[in-house]
Amino acid sequence: MTDPIADMLIRIKNAQMVSKKETIVPFSNIKYEIAKILEKKGFIAEAKKFGQKTEKIIKISLSYKNDTPAITNVKRISKPGQRIYKTVNEIRPIRGGYGIGIISTSKGIMTIKQAQKKNLGGEVIAEIW
């Protein structure tokens, strides 16, 4: 069983490691939401969806700071074979506040900080720093 979210995160990380300007991933609503969070937090420059029906893709423009990739590393927390859920009290800052955590809550996909402000827990999808 493949993990499409891990595939997307690794495609972004690998493209940045070889200094590409953009990368393409197959479209899904959850991947698009994650890409929009990464765009808002400055880890990628832009995420746009293209195509129709079965041929939709997400084109991700990558972000660099002084020629170094904005994303140093990614860690997939909850996997298809092992889901990891945390309550609002169990959520901790990522890399001392330098990274972001992405969590799927009952109110949608958001960063861990947003979930804490709204007093929500959920499935921890990934950590990015």
Mean pLDDT of the chain: 94
Domain topology for 4-69: Ribosomal Protein S8; Chain: A, domain 1 (3.30.1370)
Domains in the chain: boundaries = 4-69, 74-128
Residue 40: its pLDDT value, please? 96
User: What whole-number percentage of the chain has pLDDT above 70?
Assistant: 99
pTM: 0.93
Record: fold of 74-128: Dna Ligase; domain 1 (3.30.1490)
Q: What does the pLDDT read at residue 1? A: 58
pLDDT at residue 11 tops 90: yes
User: Same topology for domains 4-69 and 74-128, yes or no?
Assistant: no
Q: What does the pLDDT read at residue 5?
A: 96
Average pLDDT over residues 57-66: 94
Is the pLDDT at 95 greater than 90? The verdict is no
> With contact defined as beta carbons under 8 Å apart, do 70 and 44 qualify?
yes
In this predicted model, what pLDDT tens digit does every residue of 27-59 receive, in sequence order?
999 999 999 999 999 999 999 999 998 899 999
